[in-house]
Structure 1
Amino acid sequence: MTNIVFIHGLWVAHSAWEPWISYVAEQGHHAIAPAWPGELPTVEDTRREAAAQAGVGIDDLTAHYARLLEQFDTPPVVIGHSFGGLIAQKLLGENKAAAAVAIAPAPIKGVKPLPLPQLRSALPVLGNPLNRGRATGLSQGQWRYGFGNALTAAESDALWEQWSIPSPGKPLFEAATANLVRRSPAGVATGNATRGPLLIIGGTADHTVPLVAAKAAHALYRDSGAVTDFHEFDGRGHSLTIDHGWRDVADETLAWMARRGVVEVA
């Protein structure tokens, strides 16, 4: 049995990982998906108490999950989506995880491409400097552009209703200015040659983390002797972990773990 810790990103509840948790359990593994600091147990509660997450930044998230990982007898595998993918890379770079999968990861320090769709996706938060200290959500239309652009409007709207939550703006501001800050919280130890294997996954239709940005993150590891793999899903958007095709992403993730000796598929 392998222990797996799932880390969600901005605007998606931690409970959205529940289908993944059930699926990997069928393969004989144990998984958890802890909430972010200030996030409440249910989607409804988190929407009502958005301010509880205000001001939480990348360092806070990394420390929060590092403490959770320390509770395991041996380092678990971490799987993160979006900003969860950034946190997963930080934890792996600090040798706190056995391996990591970063799915459509938010840009780490050193990623330079900034495509127009990515800017448009972030504008609802970055457009108002006051949002750095707030927790805000996406409207149905904003979610459709940033997450559900590769889906039918009906599926995108259903996912927004089921899983969307307000999230802290601070991580987005920190990532946006990472290349201007010497010791940015978005920095990752990409040169660490002693860490475990890393898989970065991108979607060709992703607006929030365009494929070019995911590939640029992968390229930052070129000087590391550790295993760093990349996989792209054609026609998939930022919703790829929660939409109708999530099983494809889960299957590739588990298959990669098996190939890299991280886990044996039952």
Structure 2
Amino acid sequence: MSTHPPVLFIHGLWLHATSWTTWIDHFAAAGYDASAPGWPGEPATVQEARTRPEAVAGHGIDDVVAHYAKIIVDLPDKPVVIGHSFGGLIAQRLLGEDLVAGAIAIDAAQIKGVLPLPVSALKATVPVFKNPANRNRAVSLTAAQFRFAFGNAIAATESDELFDRWAIPAPGKPLFEAAAANFNPHSAAKVATDNSHRGPLLLTLGGKDHTVPASVTRATLKQYRHSTAVTDLREFPDRGHSLTIDHGWPVVADSCLSWLADQGL
């Protein structure tokens, strides 16, 4: 029987849940019972997700949080959640609401209160924001758009291979919600950053990330200044948004494992 808490991996926009497969195996080898349930409505395979974009359309941040909260209730113990991009925002929501034992937010989407809006982040999300109707639709990236948003720090050939393997349509609603968060007192992107009784949190940043630039993650860290709970930051200076799926993923995964060990999780 494992002495570790279960681990739930939560992906972000434009990647399928099966993109965590290597992480699941890696964490299993380290003694963790790990899984990666998809977002609400997400089909079981990449190919099916591509042919049925309407299955995920219209789901917002609250829907995703509620979906994972229901999964967590059925686990034997409070899990650790590890989320990438918008999955990192969801992980912070779950942690702030005391539903999990700890969280790792890898290059997480901006939460309410974060002000920096770098040009590269705007460009990465243009495919969604160019049409207001995309709020209730699922939107796909082209291979070129994926290279800018995810694969800018790796070879173009590797980026295209990752696009072919893992890219799926993503709901536009979470991006619209995050964009309006600082104008909405009841925003779904609001996280209980002042909770001092929560479990530990690790934020990571990729120094070359276009979608979630370093300034966004550093501003996120500042949002936790009123909490006495553990809030750490680890930097990967030469990595882009593809850091969980590209050839360098083991470095990030091992860093996460070492941090969990430091926290006794």
Q: TM-score by structure 1 length?
A: 0.98
1:73 is matched with: 76
Matched, 1:87 2:90: yes
Give me the whole-angstrom Cα distance separating, in 2, the residues matched to 1:40 and 1:34. 11
Equivalent residue for 2:19, pick from 16, 20, 39: 16
2:210 is aligned to: 207
The aligned residue for residue 236 of structure 1 is 239
Report the Cα offset of residue 126 of structure 1.
1.0
Length, aligned pairs only:
262
Question: Counterparts of 1:64-143 in structure 2 under 5 Å?
Answer: 64-143=67-146
| Structure-1 residue corresponding to 2:226 | 223
Q: Determine the C-alpha separation between the residues in 1 that align with 2:123 and 2:148.
A: 9
Deviation at 1:127, TM superposition (A): 1.4
Equivalents in 1 of 2:153, 2:105: separation in Å? 20
The residue number in structure 1 matching 2:59 is: 56
Task: Measure, in 1, the Cα distance between the counterparts of 2:136 and 2:145.
Answer: 20
- 1:74 CA displacement: 1.6
The CA deviation at 1:234 is 1.1
- Paired with 2:224 and 2:61, the residues of 1 have a C-alpha distance of 20
- How far off is 1:41 after superposition? 0.5
> For 1:170, which of 170, 173, 195 is the aligned residue?
173
Q: Normalising by the residue count of structure 2, what TM-score does the alignment of the two structures yield?
A: 0.98
Q: Give the whole-Å Cα distance in 2 for the aligned partners of 1:127 and 1:235.
A: 30
- Secondary structure of 1:88's partner? helix
CA distance in structure 1 between the aligned counterparts of 2:55 and 2:127, rounded to whole angstroms: 20
- 1:93-112, Cα deviation, whole Å (9 max, x unpaired): 00000000000000000000
Which of 239, 249, 252 is residue 249 of structure 1 equivalent to?
252
The separation in 2 between residues aligned to 1:137 and 1:82, in whole angstroms, is 16
Among 149, 155, 158, the residue aligned to 1:155? 158
Summarize deviations over 1:66-110 as a string: whole Å, max 9, x none. Answer: 011111122000000000000000000000000000000000000
Which letter maps to 2:156?
A: A
- Partner Cα separation in structure 2 for residue 171 and residue 6 of structure 1: 18
What is the SS of the residue equivalent to 2:117?
coil
Unaligned 5+ runs, structure 1: none
Q: Which residue of 2 aligns with 1:183?
A: 186
Unaligned 5+ residue runs, structure 2? none
DSSP 3-state at the match of 1:200: strand
- The runs of 4+ residues in structure 1 deviating greater than 4 Å are none
Give the SS at the match of 1:224.
Answer: coil
1:35-50 to structure 2, matched below 5 A, reads 35-50=38-53
Q: Tell me which amino acid in the other structure corresponds to 2:86.
A: F
RMSD between aligned alpha carbons?
0.5
Counterpart in the other structure of 1:32: 35
Identity percentage of aligned residues: 54
**Can you list the C-alpha shifts for 1:191-226, whole angstroms capped at 9, x where unaligned?**
000000000000000000000001111110011010
Cα-to-partner distance string for 1:239-265 (whole Å, 9 max, x where unaligned): 000000000000000000011112xxx
